[in-house]
C-alpha cells in the first residue's frame, strides 16, 4: 500500500490539501482512499475517491464490543462497562487513524490526513512503539509458555481466563502492525502543509527532526500563499513577510506553492485545481544506517535534520540504542556486530542544520569477543586501517 501523508499546524488547511491530492489521484484512474478524522470537503466522493473516516469513539466501541465480550466470558465475575460507556484513552485518535488505514488497504493509493504536526509524528511512531511494548510484555520465553497454555486450554485441561484472551489478541495485533509502513519512506511520502508566516519554518523543522527519529523524512512542503494582487502598503508588507518565510521553508524541503482563494474550494473540479500532481513514495527502500569501520571501532550515523544539541538524548539498553529528540523517542535494535560492542561516544554534527546527524562510536566489548578476534581488530602501531605504514 502506497501512502501520501499530509500534516501541518492548525489552520494550515491540511484536510483541504489532502482532499485535493485524493481527487487528483482519483482522476488518474487509480483506486484512491482518503483517510481522515475530519469532515472532508464536498466533492471527494464525486471524484471516485473513497472516504474512510477515523472515529476514535466508534472505533473503541467496536473493539470493546468484541474483546470485552471475550473477557466477560472468560472471567464471569468481572463487571465491565458497556461499549457506549468506555472513555477513550489519550492517543485514541492515532490508533483510530491506523485502524482506518487498515480498512483502506485495498486502495492503490491512500491519502492520509494526519492532522496537526504532533499527531503525525505520534502516528508515524505508534506502530514501532506498540511493537516495543509487546516485546517487553511478552518476550520470547513468555510467548513459548503462552503457546503451551493455549494448547492446554484447547485440550480442556486448563480453564480459559483473562490471560488467554490477551494471548489470543496478540497475533492479530502483530499482523495489523506489520501492515503499517508509515515509517518507511519507500512506502509513505510525507508532505508538510504550512502558511508562510513567522514561526512556520521553526515548527516544520522540529517536525522534521521528530520524523527523522523514526526513519521518516519530509518529501516536500506545500505552502498556502497569497494570490497575486496590486501592490499596497498592507499587501506589500504581508508579501515581504511571506517571501522571507518561503525562503526559510525551502530549507526544510522542496516547496510547492498553493495559492489561497477567496472562498473554500467546492466540488471535485475546484479541489483538483488547487494542487499540481504530486509524486508518490520513492518505491525503493533507502539503505538502513549501517556501521562503518573507523580507527578503534565502528561508527553509526543517524540523520537528525535540524536537531539541536540540548534536545538530543542517547542511551544504550541491552541490544537497543534509545534515541530521544524533538519530544519523541525510538528504540533502535542494533545489528549483530554492534550488539557485541560498547558505546564509546556520541556527538551531534552540524547541529541545527538540514545536515545535522548523530554520530555514535562503538568499540569491541572484550567480554563478548574471542581474544584472538579482538586482537585482530586492533591495528598495529604505525599501521592505518588500510594496512599501510
Domain boundaries along the sequence of the chain? 2-272, 292-377
Q: What is the pTM of this model?
A: 0.85
Position 387 pLDDT exceeds 70? no
> String of b and e for 289-321 (b: at least 16 CB within 10 Å)?
bebeeeebbbbbebbbbbbbeebbebebeeebb
> String of b and e for 126-159 (b: at least 16 CB within 10 Å)?
bbbbbbbeeeeebeeeeeeebeebbeebeeeeee
Helix 200-213 vs helix 117-137: crossing angle, to nearest 10: 20
**Residue 192 near residue 204, CB atoms below 8 Å:** yes
* Ranges assigned E (strand) in 70-217: 109-113, 188-194
Give CA separation, 52 vs 33, 104, 189, 334, in Å. 7, 7, 19, 37
In which band, very low, low, confident or very high, does the pLDDT at 250 lie, cut at 50, 70 and 90?
very high
Distance CA 376, CA 293 (A): 14
Structure letter (DSSP) for residue 4:
E
In which band, very low, low, confident or very high, does the pLDDT at 231 lie, cut at 50, 70 and 90?
low
Structure letter (DSSP) for residue 262:
S
Say yes or no: domain 2-272 is CATH 1.10.10.10: no
pLDDT value at position 228?
75
Task: Work out the mean pLDDT of the chain and round it to a whole number.
Answer: 85
pLDDT value at position 191?
96
pLDDT value at position 264?
82
Q: Select from 302, 325, 315, 312 the least CA-distant residue to 210.
A: 325
Position 381 pLDDT exceeds 70? no
**Residue 95 near residue 56, CB atoms below 8 Å:** yes
In which band, very low, low, confident or very high, does the pLDDT at 284 lie, cut at 50, 70 and 90?
confident
Distance CA 246, CA 194 (A): 10
Cα dihedral sign, 227-231-232-236: positive
**What φ, ψ does residue 61 adopt, rounded to 5°?**
-65, -40
Position 389 pLDDT exceeds 60? no
pLDDT value at position 234?
76
In which band, very low, low, confident or very high, does the pLDDT at 192 lie, cut at 50, 70 and 90?
very high
Distance CA 288, CA 286 (A): 6
Structure letter (DSSP) for residue 151:
H
Sheet with 109-113, strands from edge to edge, namely 50-53, 32-36, 109-113, 2-7, 188-194, 218-225, 255-259
Could you tell me the three cell numbers for 216? 521518516
pLDDT in tens, 48-93: 889 999 887 777 777 777 767 777 777 777 777 787 777 777 778 8
Look at the domain 292-377 and name its fold.
Answer: Immunoglobulin-like (2.60.40)
Q: Per mean pLDDT, which of 181-185, 213-217, 262-266, 277-281 is the most reliable?
A: 213-217
Q: Per mean pLDDT, which of 86-90, 125-129, 176-180, 365-369 is the most reliable?
A: 125-129
Helix 117-137 vs helix 162-178: crossing angle, to nearest 10: 130
Q: How large is the average pLDDT for residues 270-292? A: 84
Q: How large is the average pLDDT for residues 167-187? A: 80
Bridge partner residues of 113 (DSSP): 6
Looking up cell 471516485 gives 48
Amino acid at each position: 500500500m502506497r501512502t501520501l501523508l499530509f500534516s501541518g499546524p492548525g489552520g494550515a488547511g491540511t484536510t483541504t490539501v489532502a482532499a485535493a491530492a485524493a481527487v487528483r489521484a482519483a482522476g488518474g484512474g487509480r483506486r484512491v482512499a482518503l483517510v481522515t478524522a475530519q469532515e472532508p470537503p464536498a466533492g471527494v466522493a464525486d471524484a471516485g475517491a473513497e472516504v474512510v473516516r477515523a472515529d476514535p469513539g466508534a472505533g473503541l466501541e467496536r473493539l470493546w464490543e468484541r474483546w470485552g465480550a471475550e473477557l466477560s466470558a472468560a472471567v464471569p465475575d468481572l463487571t465491565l462497562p458497556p461499549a457506549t460507556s468506555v472513555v477513550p484513552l489519550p492517543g485514541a485518535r492515532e490508533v483510530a487513524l491506523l485502524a482506518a488505514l487498515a480498512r483502506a488497504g485495498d486502495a492503490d493509493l491512500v491519502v492520509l490526513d494526519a492532522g496537526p504536526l504532533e499527531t503525525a509524528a505520534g502516528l508515524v511512531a505508534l506502530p514501532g512503539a506498540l511493537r516495543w511494548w509487546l516485546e517487553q510484555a511478552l518476550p520470547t520465553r513468555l510467548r513459548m509458555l503462552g503457546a503451551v497454555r493455549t494448547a492446554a486450554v484447547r485440550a480442556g485441561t486448563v480453564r480459559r481466563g483473562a490471560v488467554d484472551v490477551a494471548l489470543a489478541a496478540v497475533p492479530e495485533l502483530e499482523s495489523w502492525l506489520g501492515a503499517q509502513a508509515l515509517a518507511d519512506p519507500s512506502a509513505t511520502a510525507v508532505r508538510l502543509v504550512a502558511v508562510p508566516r513567522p514561526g512556520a519554518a521553526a515548527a516544520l523543522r522540529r517536525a522534521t527532526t521528530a520524523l527523522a527519529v523514526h526513519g521518516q523524512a519530509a518529501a516536500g512542503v506545500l505552502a498556502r500563499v497569497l494570490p497575486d494582487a496590486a501592490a499596497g502598503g498592507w499587501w506589500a508588507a504581508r508579501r515581504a513577510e511571506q517571501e522571507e518565510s518561503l525562503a526559510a521553508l525551502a530549507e526544510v524541503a522542496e516547496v510547492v506553492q498553493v495559492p489561497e482563494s477567496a472562498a473554500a474550494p467546492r466540488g471535485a473540479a475546484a479541489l483538483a485545481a488547487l494542487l499540481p500532481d504530486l509524486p508518490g513514495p520513492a518505491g525503493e527502500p533507502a539503505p538502513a544506517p549501517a556501521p562503518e569501520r573507523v580507527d578503534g571501532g565502528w561508527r553509526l550515523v543517524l540523520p537528525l535534520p535540524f536537531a539541536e544539541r540540548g534536545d538530543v538524548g542517547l542511551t544504550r539498553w541491552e541490544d537497543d540504542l534509545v534515541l530521544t529528540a524533538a519530544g519523541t523517542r525510538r528504540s533502535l535494535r542494533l545489528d549483530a556486530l554492534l550488539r557485541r560492542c560498547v558505546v564509546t561516544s556520541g556527538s551531534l554534527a552540524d547541529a541545527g542544520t538540514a545536515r545535522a546527524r548523530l554520530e555514535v562510536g562503538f568499540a569491541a566489548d572484550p567480554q563478548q569477543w574471542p581474544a584472538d578476534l579482538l586482537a585482530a581488530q586492533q591495528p598495529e602501531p604505525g599501521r592505518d586501517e588500510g594496512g599501510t605504514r
